[in-house]
């Protein structure tokens, strides 16, 4: 593509990232995202969610959290979506311990939470230790 003088756009990269994730090549997908950042190509929300989902399927909640945190602080709306969606996915996977720090960060940054996440956080993680019971 580049040899023909064509530039990739966000949708082109999204298709490549989705393909890499579906093929189980999550490291390749992350390399593509890194290239997007380096080249200044805007990253679609769906691109992020595909990578996060693939990292979680690999059993890598830690990797998914690191991935999301690498983008936090650039855009408040993206922060809300990335932190909130990952926290929600972790709660659904019965990984409350991993979700609570993300929700605490959302609270500290004054980012809006969906009703279910807010209820979960207030009931379980609203204190400093997150010791209000289990899922």
Instruction: Give 43-95 pLDDT, tens digit per residue.
Output: 999 999 999 999 999 877 999 999 999 999 988 999 999 999 999 999 999 99
The domains found in the chain, sorted by start residue, are: 2-99+106-116 (1.25.40)
**Model's pTM, two decimal places?**
0.81
**Cβ–Cβ under 8 Å, residues 55 and 26:** yes
Instruction: Give 101-124 pLDDT, tens digit per residue.
Output: 999 999 999 999 999 999 999 988
């Amino acid at each position: 593509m580049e040899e023909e003088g064509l530039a990739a756009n966000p949708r082109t990269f999204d298709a490549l990232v989705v393909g890499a994730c579906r093929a189980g090549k999550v490291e390749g997908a992350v390399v593509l995202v890194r290239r997007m950042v380096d080249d200044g190509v805007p990253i679609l929300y769906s691109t992020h969610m595909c990578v996060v989902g693939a990292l979680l399927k690999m059993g890598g909640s830690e990797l998914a959290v690191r991935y999301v945190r690498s983008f936090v602080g650039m855009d408040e709306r993206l922060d809300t979506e990335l932190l909130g969606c990952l926290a929600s996915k972790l709660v659904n996977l019965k990984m409350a311990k991993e979700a609570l720090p993300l929700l605490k960060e959302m609270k500290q940054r004054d980012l809006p939470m969906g009703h279910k996440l807010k209820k979960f956080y207030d009931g379980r993680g609203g204190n400093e230790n997150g010791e209000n019971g289990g899922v």
